[in-house]
Chain A
């Protein structure tokens, strides 16, 4: 845990994501939010990171056979990475378009699948990279920078 004289401590949080494990996305977003609040990070940064986690983990649960969510906090930025084994994304530019979705009906019934996930992630990220191979899987990495490069005040 942090102490009052340190910069934001480096921590890594790791969550497995199972196929159709739809509720893990929200649970992990909630858990990470609480951890980041305990570190005393800024509320707007925490919100952005939590939204990215929610959408990215949901994508894995919906589209992949299994995967992993890794959140890494260091003094300059927070990175959110999902790695999955699954169908992959044939056309990333198309997947980034608002309103484009390949999610099945059961996902839409839950309130997802409106084609907003990747655009939301992009909007909340300072940097976003997506690598995907059809039939193998996808790796998404989003970075949220702390605006100030100085130490984040720890309460």
Chain B
């Protein structure tokens, strides 16, 4: 799965990171607690969140996330986007809410990996 696949699956707007569209996404992490992000995000994971502040991008950078998806149509201000550009972190905004994002991404990644998501494997 690549950033451009995520953009398509979530019908998301790319806020920055045009040159990151072919970057690999190694997993997903959906959360609104920064400390949990700092505890659990694995390198190259995509962060899905409804939080909308500078900490999200700092955390994504610190944790080597492959990108950030802001849900519910939220978009961060230009300062936050500029910081993401500086640290080469693609930012996406989708009108989907967090549950739907997770469902779509889980189902799509399961198809790509040729596994049945309902069997949890």
Residues of A within 8 A of B (CB): 22-23, 25-27, 29-30, 33, 43, 47, 50-51, 54-55, 110-112, 114, 116-117, 120, 123
Residues of B within 8 A of A (CB): 32-39, 43, 51, 53-59, 61-64, 87
Nearest Cβ distance between residue B101 and chain A, in whole angstroms?
17
Instruction: Report chain A residues within 8 Å CB of B61.
Output: 30, 33
A26 touches B33 (CB 8 A): no
Nearest Cβ distance between residue A54 and chain B, in whole angstroms?
6
B62 touches A50 (CB 8 A): yes
Instruction: Report chain A residues within 8 Å CB of B58.
Output: 23, 25-27, 29-30, 54
Interface of A is mostly: helix
Alpha-carbon gap, A59 to B33, bound state (A): 15
B36 touches A54 (CB 8 A): no
- Which one of B34, B43, B54, B57 lies within 8 Å of A112 (CB-CB)? B34
| 16 sampled A-B residue pairs with Cβ under 8 A | A22-B55, A23-B54, A25-B58, A26-B58, A30-B87, A33-B62, A43-B64, A47-B43, A55-B35, A110-B34, A110-B51, A111-B34, A111-B51, A112-B34, A116-B36, A117-B35
Instruction: Report chain A residues within 8 Å CB of B53.
Output: 110-111
